[in-house]
Structure 1
Amino acid sequence: MKRLKYSVLFFSTILAYVIFHITEEALGNFPLFMHQNWGIPNIGYARWLYHNIIFFLPVLMIGFLMYLIDEKRIYLGLGITFWGILNFFEHTFYTIKNGVVSPGFFSSLIFVALAILTMITLAKQKNLTKKIVISSVLTAGVYWLISIALVLTCSQLVAKIFQ
């Protein structure tokens, strides 16, 4: 059996995010969910989608490309996988808190499946260490924080675009 490439596993999280997760959130009216749970004004679909495509996706893609440039920095790729797990935890928290399924919860289960597959693959190839896991979790947090910081920093400019 051919060995799964880490790059395929890491990129699969990005594909699942773009294809399935954003779709499920859109169908579940995620902008309204943000308003109800975080007090963010209902920014509408166009602006919400813009945030995903301009602020979240590029951060993940830059991390992925940096991993491809130097595959020894596996934490950059695995951080993408763990970013998906952070996303899953967020949706799970609000599903439990609100007593109703959070838009994006079901597709976040794909992130969990990919993370399990990735961890098994890394373990089988003796590339799963405590240091890699810790640095990958921290990297996932950095990916999340950079994206949120970009949204907050650019919110006034983006608001003008969508007036």
Structure 2
Amino acid sequence: MRVVLQRAGRARVTVSGETVGEIARGWVALLGVARGDTADDARWLADKISNLRAFADADGKMNLSIQDIAGGVLVISNFTLYADCQKGRRPSFIAAASPADAEPLYKTFADAVRALGVPVAEGRFGADMQVELTNDGPVTLVIDTPPRAAGAARPLADGPTES
């Protein structure tokens, strides 16, 4: 799984002119799901972004998490994060999970962030969306779930291995 996080002062997503998700201060999370990703990947990534200290404290240092600032996350599905543009002129999306596999993992991710006490707004999976944001900083981070050996448990974002 891959997420592009953009720190936002505000953000919203519309579909056909209708606002379907909106946040004030927080993260815009463009989420890509790759073939072979699992619910463990979604939960690992949710824990990582919910506790990532990339918001400014009183001294202007990136020491606060989304939870510390009582911010929200706007989650937008984005299969193009797994585009391969190395050959030819047209991107290949072979590494991206199929919509049937990706949508449940997208929902697992959003639900896992919510379960950690962070308000979540969502786009509409698979829709043509227009995303507006006021990029704060700008701060933009790319996070990939770590690779793992076949059958191995996913380590928690900053702790021991899950059992």
Q: TM-score, normalised by structure 1?
A: 0.33
- Could you say which structure has the higher helix fraction? 1
Q: Given the two structures, how large is their TM-score scaled by the length of structure 2?
A: 0.33
Structure holding more strand per residue: 2
